[in-house]
Structure 1
Amino acid sequence: MAELRDALPPLYRELLGEPFAEEIPPESKATCSACAMLERGCQGSAVAPVDGRSRFFSPDTKCCTFHPRLPNYLLGAILTSDDPALAEGRRRVAARIASRVGVSPEWLHPPRTFTLLYDSARGAFGRARGLRCPFYEADAGGCTIWAHRDAVCSTYFCKYVAGADGRRFWTAVKELLSLVEIQLARAALLELAPDLLDREPGLRPASATPVGPEDIDGAAPPEEEYLAAWGAWAGREVELYAACDAYVRSLSAHDLDGLLGLDGRLARRAVRRALDTARSPSLPPVLRLDPGATIAWLPDGSVALGSYSELEAVALPGAAYRLLARFTGDEPISTVRARLRAEEHADLSDDVLLELYRQRVLVPPPRRAAARPGGGGPAP
């Protein structure tokens, strides 16, 4: 198995330390080169959505209907790379910097109009060309800046080998990487151009101010707004980004730990705990069929069940579904299985139950609130 750090941009390989040297199972369900979310790739195993709304991705977009927020040092890594595979990415990043749209000393932000559309859209992820990433190469079906992608793009998978536990693990990794991006971008500016940190930010994120005519037209911000953010570095953006990249590459894992502080320790702990659960899951003693699970009966008499994600379902024989209905959360799994063997001459193996739990088709019952002394109802 590969190490966790092998799944991330190479810049972080020597920076992140524990637990990123741990081995992780490959996310074999999420196949980017042969997208697992394209209808043509399902080979007859597709399940019609119960609400009539397709979840398949478009071949023109795949999951790249997202605009990354790239920190200054990753921009510098892209711009200074001599890797031929990044040539198109370098060209696109340079053009974006020249446009001044969403360009700040710390980040390359999504345009404000993009964020408004993304936050307001329904059923558009993976399908709307208007949300396609500017660094996505449609003809090749791949990313032009993959080696230096951001935290979100490094940790997103449409399906997870470990089901809900896998999603929880990669979410924890994303939160840690997001903290790393923030602290490294700020530390680089503090070292190289501290006056830019002291300035009133003129280039705010999309949600901070209403959009103006230049936002709607995709034009550069007003000159005074841009100069307020960049000061003497205006026109030298590439130089600053390259210096940020060099600064980050000079840091050690110990340096990064100091920058992350207590928040970093807590985030690493969350990654470790989630990784342990994803690699070594255990069945809760009591389970019930998730009352919110999506159920679709198929023409061959089998049933598709979805719970934790609308992009993934598990198929079972119809007879097995009737067995699942016996899991009500009122008694231990062992008792339910003994009754199934005695009354139905059937059973569900540990492996099947574990997979159904990972998919959260089977879930622990809600915890009952403890009664207050004197019978006064639930504790606050």
Structure 2
Amino acid sequence: MKKFDLGIIGGGQLGMFICQAAKELSLTSVVYSNTEDFSAQRFCDHFIVGNYSNESINEFIESSDLFTIETENIPKTVLRKINRRKKLFPNSDIIEICQNRFEEKNFLNSIDNVSTAKFRLVKNFKDLEESLKFLGNQGILKSCKFGYDGKGQYFINKLNYREFEKFSFDEFIIEEVLDFKKEISVIICKTNQNFSIYPPVENLHKNSILRKTTYPAKINKRTSENAKNIALSISSKLGLVGILTVEMFVMKDNSILVNELAPRPHNSGHWSLDFCETSQFKNLILSIFDGKVKNPNPTQNCKMINIIGADYKKKEQLKKAYKFYDYFKGEIRPLRKMGHYTIKN
């Protein structure tokens, strides 16, 4: 089989942008997708569709020597197989930590200057009752695995917790409900030689889905530096080579609690495509191939707005007014990210 420069697991919009960044640097890409209709199909040089079976994964592994991901929801066996036989960025150990909320939070709290919301592991209803008391009679129950965009999350308090007596507790944690001031994120690209940190951006969510990202985040300089230092501490402890997104809460006293990690490019970094000299996607490629990443050098205050569900029907109007990015998804569904646009602030 012909060899391609970069293998990408996942063919969604993040994979699409990774393919485009690779092409801009004259690199070829091969995508592995577990669905037949996927965004990156228009931009990759080759693709393999499969269900993570040995046969299709082995074909994918033989198609390149260097690999990255656009989703962390990948079987551990697949990650380890790629990591064992080729090079994966970030490596499988990092991705596995980020796959499990309980392991991730334990890892984060092992770092000196990093804290998270209070949390407890919940394996049964008795655990839920005891944890609820510990957290002040309310909390957010979250699946340890495969949770994104609000999936697998439940708000629980003393009024509704008995509804969960017959709930199937597989792997869940319950977190305290935070009275935070705002949500921010920091993206860091790192190699063994250098690192590049994108300044904090402010994120607005609705129904647990990102709707708007604003650069710069409206936080003071000390809080901004603290956020960047936290991201650097986490990436250094992980031994990161590649990209990492750190989602954070800014509390009312300007202290920071880390929410979660994403070992891949992030929706909140899409503004970098238009308003940075080096986008998050290009820096990911550089971290893999060049050994050195570049300073993002933001050029303009801006906003990124996600197009969700039926709002996609307005795309022709949006194209005329803004820099619009189409994710080329075949089916419009409620709460599905269909595209985004950016505007000068």
Report the TM-score when normalising by structure 1. 0.21
Report the TM-score when normalising by structure 2. 0.23
More strand by share: 2
More helix by share: 1
By relative contact order (CA 8 Å, sep 6+), the higher-ranking structure is 1
